[in-house]
Amino acid sequence: MGKKNISTATSIAGVELDSYVCNASGPKCTTYEELTELGRSDSSAIVMKSATILPREGNPEPRLARVGKHGLVQSMGLPNLGYEKYVGFSKKLTKFGKRIIGSIAGFSFEEYVVMVKAFQKSDVDLIEINVSCPNIEGKSLIGRDFGQLRDLLTLTSGLGTKPIGLKLPQYDDPAHWFTVAELVLEYGVSFITCINSIGNTLVIDPWTRKTVTSKNGLAGLSGETIMPIALANVRAFYELLGGKVSIFGVGGVIDGVSAFQFLLAGADAVQVGTAFELNDASCFTYINKGLIHMLEYHGFSSVEEAKGQLLYI
């Protein structure tokens, strides 16, 4: 069987994607110019920056630093143009023929409701609700406060027909996986994105004795280092949700091998953040080609055939 016969097409919440690989909300998806670059790339979707009600400049520089070869710490503080801009961009971006994914991050339940309603009336195909941004000072993670998460889902479910998803933080307690899975099923959440960067990590430059990011130096860790944590979360939710909810796997996808590992764990598609930040849009092409090679090597003809096929020793 040649590679030309192997497809990496997939779907999220019934929305078809022409490949398994797309960008993650965060790097290089804030301005219209950046979004058009994604439209011209081999990313299977255009995932927009997590939007807030009002535009934000974000945290002061420096707020991004490299860790090792394939990792980053960042304390961006959600710099974005405000949700109304992204609602407007969604119509313009349809010219690329790709799926468009809106992402929102509110500072109150009321803000989430306003933004969900607006994106429900827009040209996006999916709406990702970010409940896991790890670097907003003084703001607790809704994704870790299950009472707040229930309240948010109560308010945002049923506001339109476009599929709603949750961008989740990492969990390391099986009881938390179980609780979140129950809420996701109860409220008809269509997809989950896991995981966001791991918040409140600290990197120190030993030669200057200084933190590498501003303020108190606490920042979100992303990239290859967090991949084992991301895989564990994807696998846990794959087993608990039983195929009823789609899963975007995020965290350390740098090549076809890592994308294949997320596929084995049960992810329906992967989002690429750090590798895109550290390189360029050619990463989507490279990762997808590598995934085709891995599928061919293991004798699979599609991502659906390989999905969840993790073996235990």
**Cα 101 from Cα 104, distance rounded (Å):** 10
Closest of 247, 232, 126 to residue 184, by C-alpha: 247
**Cα 308 from Cα 267, distance rounded (Å):** 7
Tokens 């969990």 belong to: 171
194 as an active site residue: the answer is no
* The amino acid at 210: K
* The amino acid at 300: F
Residue 187 contacts residue 211 (beta carbons within 8 Å): no
Closest of 26, 46, 71 to residue 252, by C-alpha: 71
Residue 31's SS3 state is coil
Tokens 């520089």 belong to: 61
* Catalytic residue chosen out of the listed positions 22, 29, 133, 283: 133
Which of the residues are catalytic? Answer: 133
